[in-house]
């Protein structure tokens, strides 16, 4: 049995990668994605964890790393996590503070599995061998041709579910949804994500319109902070259409409020935001208790092992930007096969190694 495995080294790096085309959703546009990556070392093993966040997150992560992590026993994970939570009390325990904690927590999970020389999914407790994914893109900035090409390519690769952005131009959204349906055919599942752009009345009306193209998933039809509004939309969407939200949840208390309000039929959680894999497991336990399905938001490599280890997980988001970055940055990136991803059980931890030379081109 390992004893006193001190965390001896740690670092925080920031990488910013330009998008491969202009991107936008219902309420925001962007031209780059930033990854804040934490590396830890203990017992001769090196591990990594990351979040997708503003570069300012790195400053807080560095402070937490040096004040509360380094010098501690790597297996005192719970105590380290508690100390970080207490440290950000006066900063506000959401947003940047929780994303900084998430990057460190994810690295701690990876490190413990590597110290034990087992895959992370086995440390948590494997439930399934693989998890379905849905292709996520279809940005509101895309032309009909770009949307058709992206979704058509995913369909050819065996993806059975795809999600597009809506909300920037509600009057044009029915046409765009029809274009997407034509691109993927009749059998693939089509999801839409409004990123909170609609009013309750708009969302209810458009849900009925979207159902004509067999849309089965309506994500953030209104702001995820508007739990009453989400409940109203959920109560009026056509039968067979899920209402999903939760990507902006940072704490277990927020997820509990969302479930208690019956705001969603599927809860989303993001381990790069909600305090890491530890917070994701909290969300998974709440889903178990409420008998509600769980889906991960973005960062497919970060969620692969944990989604194969929680019973209520139904699928993961294969977000275009993050899949592109993780494929470039990590040796060990798992390519989807027949619309699903599976952990590599021959590699310890998350099975990821940073491609230092490739990533260096984007180092901030």
In this predicted structure, what is the pLDDT of residue 2?
59
- Separation CA 353–CA 330 (nearest Å): 5
The alpha carbon of residue 66 and the mean position of all alpha carbons in its chain are separated, in whole angstroms, by 27
Residue 335: in which H helix or E strand, if any?
Answer: none
In this predicted structure, what is the pLDDT of residue 120?
98
Q: Which two tokens stand for residue 197?
A: 């752009």
In this predicted structure, what is the pLDDT of residue 294?
98
The alpha carbon of residue 181 and the mean position of all alpha carbons in its chain are separated, in whole angstroms, by 25
Q: Render pLDDT for 335-349 as a digit per residue (tens, 0 to 9).
A: 999 999 999 999 999
In this predicted structure, what is the pLDDT of residue 64?
98
Residues of the chain where predicted confidence (pLDDT) is lower than 50: none
- Separation CA 128–CA 126 (nearest Å): 6
Which pTM was predicted? 0.97
Q: Render pLDDT for 272-320 as a digit per residue (tens, 0 to 9).
A: 999 999 999 999 999 999 999 999 999 999 999 999 999 999 999 999 9
């Amino acid at each position: 049995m390992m004893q006193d495995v001190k965390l001896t080294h740690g670092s925080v790096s920031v990488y910013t990668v330009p998008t491969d085309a202009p991107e936008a959703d219902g309420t925001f546009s962007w031209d780059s994605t930033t990854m804040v990556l934490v590396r830890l070392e203990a017992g001769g093993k090196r591990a990594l964890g990351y979040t997708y966040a503003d570069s300012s997150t790195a400053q807080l992560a560095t402070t937490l790393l040096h004040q509360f992590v380094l010098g501690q026993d790597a297996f005192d994970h719970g105590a380290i996590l508690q100390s970080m939570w207490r440290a950000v009390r006066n900063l506000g325990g959401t947003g940047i503070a929780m994303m900084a904690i998430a990057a460190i927590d994810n690295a701690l999970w990876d490190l413990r599995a590597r110290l034990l020389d087992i895959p992370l999914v086995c440390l948590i407790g494997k439930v399934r061998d693989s998890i379905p994914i849905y292709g996520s893109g279809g940005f509101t900035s895309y032309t009909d041709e770009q949307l058709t090409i992206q979704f058509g390519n995913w369909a050819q690769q065996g993806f059975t579910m795809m999600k597009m952005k809506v909300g920037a131009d509600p009057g044009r959204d029915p046409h765009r949804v029809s274009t997407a349906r034509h691109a993927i055919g009749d059998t693939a599942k089509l999801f839409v994500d409004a990123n909170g752009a609609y009013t309750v009345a708009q969302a209810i009306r458009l849900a009925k319109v979207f159902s004509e193209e067999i849309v089965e998933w309506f994500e953030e039809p209104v702001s995820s902070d508007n739990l009453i509004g989400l409940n109203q939309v959920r109560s009026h969407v056509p039968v067979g259409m899920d209402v999903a939200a939760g990507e902006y949840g940072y704490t277990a208390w927020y997820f509990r409020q969302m479930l208690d309000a019956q705001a969603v039929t599927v809860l989303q959680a993001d381990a790069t935001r909600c305090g890491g894999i530890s917070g994701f497991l909290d969300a998974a336990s709440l889903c178990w208790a409420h008998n509600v399905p769980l889906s991960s938001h973005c960062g497919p490599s970060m969620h692969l092992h944990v989604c194969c280890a929680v019973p209520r997980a139904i699928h993961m988001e294969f977000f275009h930007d993050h899949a592109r970055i993780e494929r470039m940055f990590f040796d060990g990136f798992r390519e989807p096969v027949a619309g699903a991803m599976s952990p590599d059980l021959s590699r310890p931890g998350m099975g990821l190694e940073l491609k230092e030379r490739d990533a260096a081109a984007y180092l901030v």
